[in-house]
Each structure stands twice: as structure tokens, then as C-alpha cells.
Chain A
């Protein structure tokens, strides 16, 4: 069979039923076979969104998802999505067409060195030059993308290779001698960690996105409950524990809440679970001096990178937490937890009344959070809307998806599209600003075309609000290039896509709009009008 056919068969063998992509000449042989194999192809309106949608899909299924683009500009348009996935450890296999192998290096039409260009942002990449390698490359790519610390793997397929004839047999197993992720965790280190937990007076679990990767959020919660350890989240770790849990004290970091940051600055034992101590998350590393730090992560390079660690444990969180749980007992941390409760209570502020014609975003997001059905998926974009959402959505059993590491504007709508494609039974809502919305609203057409009915909430303040705030605070309020004048009427825009919409200019209208959004089986858009001077931390 042709390599193109083998590629489609390989996807089938990997259990891939849906791919996101955008065709072009150099990937046409593969597209023809996708069609023949009956693999569902979601035609996004920009290649970057194929990547973000695959990210949303992968985060729901926990398995590598696939995005496809053609050579040259199609491939380079994927790069931001690849970098976003790389930062947040999302498993993905990207397939790009490439010009014929005999033409590579001659700067022919739509030629780009995509393996070279994407190198800093991929876990691994292949430029296939030998057609016989196809099956092994696909098998290895899926394995590498999904195992250890997951990440994006790129397969660049020259046009002539796609058309070559091969004998195809998909391998059952993988053996890459240079890639053997360490999953078990060192027993002695786990014992030391358990002893440190037993000895500590003010322990704290900082739960990151790795808990989702390892499918270990439930075990984390069990450990917290058994040993009475308070829990804070990084942004990527949000929704790993119900927001109302008595041991949960919120999100840490530059935009985190007071109780969470107080906890991290005052604990005597910090247990980092699948978190990489990003600069926005742990803003005052010096405050941790004197604290014992247990860092559990599957990627040894993250341990000790940004924070000196007392007890490093490399491995899979599920396996390690299972062992830690066996060694953990019921410890009394009543005083410590009461201190944190005190901080939490003292940080509570009365809601600010917004100016006429505007809504307090905190009030709106809180209301939305309370109205959501169980297991809802919220995709937060980047900017003020992200912080408003992360701080106030208070998910109980749902899932929050956002671009944590890269801070990629334009992530939420395509990610919601991908998440909804993976979990059509769930309520999936993208929350973005009017800046980020205009980077991604073309995907409303994709939702309509393919009947993937995610919903969209746009916080409209006619500003790039977070930049505006920086300019207000650090640049003498000289507002440069942050006004979004000329933006379309979003209600009319939604109507142009055949999507019903509501504008909320007063909190009294919010509940009915939320109810309408949740009641419809199809897409729905809510525009929430927000004061342009609204602060990020409310």
C-alpha cells in the first residue's frame, strides 16, 4: 500500500477517530486516505486552531490527539499551538506535509524546514526520508507523545514519501533504547517523603497539571484527606480538587489568592505534585527557605530547576502517590489549617459595584460556576478573563483547561471545540476577552459545520485589559495600542454564524443569559460588558 494509506491505518491502529486539520497540496495523498479510512476530519479555519483543538481533545481523553497541516505556511502556522502544548505537557502528534524529498533544501513553493523551526517546542520530531520507516515512526511518535512527561511530536512527511509503496505492518510494541521514562519512583525517596510528612507541622500540597496527566487527582485528594494536608493549586492544577473542599485554599501565584500564597510562604513542608514551579506560580522562592521541599515529577529536569529540593522523587504520580498513601497516617494539623482559614476569611472583600452598563466579572463568573452542571469543562483564554475565571469559577467536579505556561491568546475557543469533540455529553464553555475572541472567532464556523456545539462567553471591555493595567500601573497610564475600537457587534457577529447570543450589561440579566446558554443543545454566545478599568485581581 502507499505510505499515505499506511499513515491513516496507523492512526486507526492508535485508536484515533478524529483529527483536526487544514489540507494543502503537499498533504493531499494522506487526506485522500483519511477519507477512505473514515477518520473524522474537523476542518478548522486556521492551522493554529487545529493544534489547540487537538490540545483540548487530548486533555479530555488523556491520549495523544492529532492535528494535520500542509507544508510551508500550513506547518509554520501550527508552531504556536505546538509551543503551547509543549509548555503545558499536552500529548499531541502533529502531521505535516512536506515538499518532495528530492526538492528539500531548494526553497521550492511552500517549503519550510518545519522540523528545524519547531525543534525548540517539540518533545521529538521526524522528517521521514525512508518510506519503510513509516510504521515505526508513527508507533514511536504516539508512544513518545503520550508517555513520561507528555508533549507534542511532529511527523513531517514529504509528498513523494506519502506516495511510495510499502509493505505495512503496525508494530505491537515500542523499544526506543534512548527513551525509557522512569515511572516507579525510588522506594527510599518515597519513604523519606512519608517521614517528612509525618514530621511536619505545616505541610502543604501544591497540586499541578501533572495530576491530570497521571490521572492521579483522586489519589492526591485521598492523601490530603488522610494526612490532613491543605492543598493549593497552580493554574494548571485547578479543578484537581473540588473548590469547596475544606482542605482547598485556592490558586497560588502572581494572580493567585491570598490564602494560597500565605500557605506557600508559611508552610514547613511543601509537597509539589506535577508542578514545575513556574515564575508566575511561585513568586517568592526565597520565602521557602527553611521549608522542606518534596518534589514529585515524572520529568527529572524539572526537579531542582527553579527551586532547591530536599526530597526529589522521579516517577509517575499515580504509582508514587499510591505508595505514599500506604505510608501516610492521620496527622493533626488543626492549628495550621485554622490559620489558613483565617487568612481565607480575612481576604474576603465585598463585591464592588460596577459602573452603570457594566458587570462585575467576579460576580458573573461566580454565578456561572454555581449554575454549571457537574463535569462541565471550562476553557479559559489568556488575559484578565483568565484570572477572573480561574479565581472565581470554583469548579466542583468539572475541568478547567487553559494555556498555563505559554499564555497563548486564542486558545480557549479551539480548545473548547476539541474538548467538546472528545466529550460531546459535557457542557463545554470557552471564556475569553474581546481581544482574544478576535484571534479565534473564525472557529465558530467550525463548530457550526461539524455540529460541535461548544459555547462562548466574551468579556468585553474594548481593551486588551491586562496590558492596559500594566500601562496604568507601570507606564503612567499612557494607554498605548490597547483600545479595541472598531471591534464588531458580537451579537450580530454571532447571528452571522447562526449562533444565538445575549448581551449582559447588568448583573440582573446574567442568570437568564446563563440559563439560556445552558439550556440550548447548540452553541450560544454571551457578551458580558465589563468596565475598561476593571482590575485583574478583584
Chain B
């Protein structure tokens, strides 16, 4: 089962290594991991999507909490979350195909971020499922490169995860 875990950490050098090392040595599987600074520049937020049983999830939370630089760990039910991932997809695109790719992008609300004579780079921020779907739609043109950020997540509604 997939779990989304948000972790507030001290924005120190080496924190990410500690977190990643913990997952590796305890045998926890990470599907995606994204990290960035919060509104408080001394605190970073790591969003981890991990796979495992409830036992694994409990252990992940407890072991993360033992890391001295970890300030707060929360795990969320996917229904209460707004989850987003950013993807950049570069495809082969001849001038004659541009119009239909642009139409496709409009349907899914993707942006055209770069264009050359025979390539096009599209940018989409959405849920993981929608991103995968978009990738499939573009596959027939010839995908040259895909870069994804990993998911970030935030609770829906007025609540916020702070110290």
C-alpha cells in the first residue's frame, strides 16, 4: 500500500542523506522523494511516497522521528491530500504535428515550455495518474526525455502542517 509521509527537517547539510540512508538500511521502499525549503528557510519539507504495510509505515514514522534533525513527521490519508508532481516531457514534433500537440496540451492544461524545429517540450503539474496518462498520449510522437520531480503533498482545507 502507498503511503504519503511529510517530514519537516532542519535545513542542514546532510539531512537528506540521513533520511535516504534510513530508508535504505531499514529496507523501506521509496516510490518518490521530493525536498524543498519551506516558508521558514531553516526548515525543509520532505515528501515521501513509500510502499509497505501498516507495520512498515509505523516503523518508518518512528525511525524518522529518531533522527535528531527531523522535527515533525506526519502521514496522511490520500483522500485528505492535494498531491502534485511536475513533469517535463520532450518529444519529437515535426512542424506539421505542432497544432495537434498544442491541442492535446490545452486539453490537459499542460504548457509548451520549449520548442525547436523538430522537438517540443511540454510541462505539466498534476497528479501522478494524470501525468502518466499525459505521457502515454505523447508516446506516439516519440518521447526523447522525461523528467519528473516526485510528488509533493499538502492537506486540503484550512489546516496546515507547521511546527
**A interface residues (Cβ-Cβ under 8 A, vs B):** 115-116, 119-120, 123-124, 127, 129, 144, 176-179, 299-301, 304-305
A304 pairs with B68, CB closer than 8 A: no
The complex places the Cα of A176 from the Cα of B71 at a distance, in Å, of 9
The complex places the Cα of A342 from the Cα of B68 at a distance, in Å, of 48
A301 pairs with B21, CB closer than 8 A: no
B65 pairs with A115, CB closer than 8 A: no
B68 pairs with A144, CB closer than 8 A: yes
Nearest-neighbor residue (CB-CB) of B71 within chain A: A178
**Known A124-B68, A178-B69, A304-B58: A119·B63 in contact at CB below 8 Å:** no
The complex places the Cα of A178 from the Cα of B163 at a distance, in Å, of 10
State which residues 9-63 of B face A: CB under 8 Å. 9-10, 13-14, 17-18, 21, 25, 55, 58-59, 62-63
A300 pairs with B25, CB closer than 8 A: no
Q: Give min CB distance, B46 to chain A, whole Å.
A: 13
The complex places the Cα of A28 from the Cα of B124 at a distance, in Å, of 56
A-B contact pairs, 8 of them (CB 8 A): A176-B68, A178-B10, A178-B69, A178-B71, A178-B72, A300-B62, A301-B62, A305-B62
The complex places the Cα of A62 from the Cα of B68 at a distance, in Å, of 21
Q: Which residues of A contact B9 (CB under 8 A)?
A: 178
The complex places the Cα of A386 from the Cα of B122 at a distance, in Å, of 65
A299 pairs with B66, CB closer than 8 A: yes
Q: Which residues of B contact A300 (CB under 8 A)?
A: 62, 65
Q: Which residues of A contact B10 (CB under 8 A)?
A: 178
Indicate if B120 sits at the interface (CB-CB under 8 A).
no
Q: Which residues of A contact B55 (CB under 8 A)?
A: 304
The complex places the Cα of A35 from the Cα of B87 at a distance, in Å, of 59
Q: Which residues of A contact B71 (CB under 8 A)?
A: 177-178
B59 pairs with A123, CB closer than 8 A: no
Q: Which residues of A contact B18 (CB under 8 A)?
A: 119
The complex places the Cα of A179 from the Cα of B72 at a distance, in Å, of 10
State which residues 114-134 of B face A: CB under 8 Å. none
Q: Which residues of B contact A124 (CB under 8 A)?
A: 68-69
Nearest-neighbor residue (CB-CB) of A149 within chain B: B66
From A115, A178, A179, A305, B14 is in contact (CB under 8 Å) with A115
State which residues 71-114 of B face A: CB under 8 Å. 71-72
Give the 6 A-B CB pairs with smallest separation, nearest first. Answer: A301-B62, A178-B71, A124-B68, A179-B68, A120-B25, A119-B21
Indicate if B5 sits at the interface (CB-CB under 8 A).
no
Q: Which residues of A contact B62 (CB under 8 A)?
A: 300-301, 305
A301 pairs with B65, CB closer than 8 A: yes
Indicate if B153 sits at the interface (CB-CB under 8 A).
no
B68 pairs with A305, CB closer than 8 A: no
Q: Which residues of B contact A144 (CB under 8 A)?
A: 68
The complex places the Cα of A119 from the Cα of B22 at a distance, in Å, of 9
Q: Give min CB distance, B20 to chain A, whole Å.
A: 10
Q: Which residues of A contact B59 (CB under 8 A)?
A: 301, 305
Q: Which residues of A contact B152 (CB under 8 A)?
A: none
B163 pairs with A177, CB closer than 8 A: yes
Q: Give min CB distance, B18 to chain A, whole Å.
A: 6
Nearest-neighbor residue (CB-CB) of A120 within chain B: B25
Nearest-neighbor residue (CB-CB) of B70 within chain A: A178
Q: Which residues of A contact B14 (CB under 8 A)?
A: 115, 127
**Known A115-B14, A301-B59: A178·B68 in contact at CB below 8 Å:** yes
The complex places the Cα of A185 from the Cα of B155 at a distance, in Å, of 31
A123 pairs with B58, CB closer than 8 A: no
A116 pairs with B65, CB closer than 8 A: no
The complex places the Cα of A176 from the Cα of B9 at a distance, in Å, of 12
Nearest-neighbor residue (CB-CB) of A119 within chain B: B21
Q: Give min CB distance, A216 to chain B, whole Å.
A: 22
B68 pairs with A123, CB closer than 8 A: yes
Q: Give min CB distance, B26 to chain A, whole Å.
A: 10
A119 pairs with B68, CB closer than 8 A: no
Q: Give min CB distance, A474 to chain B, whole Å.
A: 26
A120 pairs with B21, CB closer than 8 A: yes
Nearest-neighbor residue (CB-CB) of A148 within chain B: B66
Nearest-neighbor residue (CB-CB) of B61 within chain A: A301
Q: Give min CB distance, B28 to chain A, whole Å.
A: 13
The complex places the Cα of A144 from the Cα of B71 at a distance, in Å, of 15
Q: Which residues of B contact A176 (CB under 8 A)?
A: 68
The complex places the Cα of A365 from the Cα of B148 at a distance, in Å, of 64
Q: Give min CB distance, A348 to chain B, whole Å.
A: 41
The complex places the Cα of A177 from the Cα of B42 at a distance, in Å, of 12
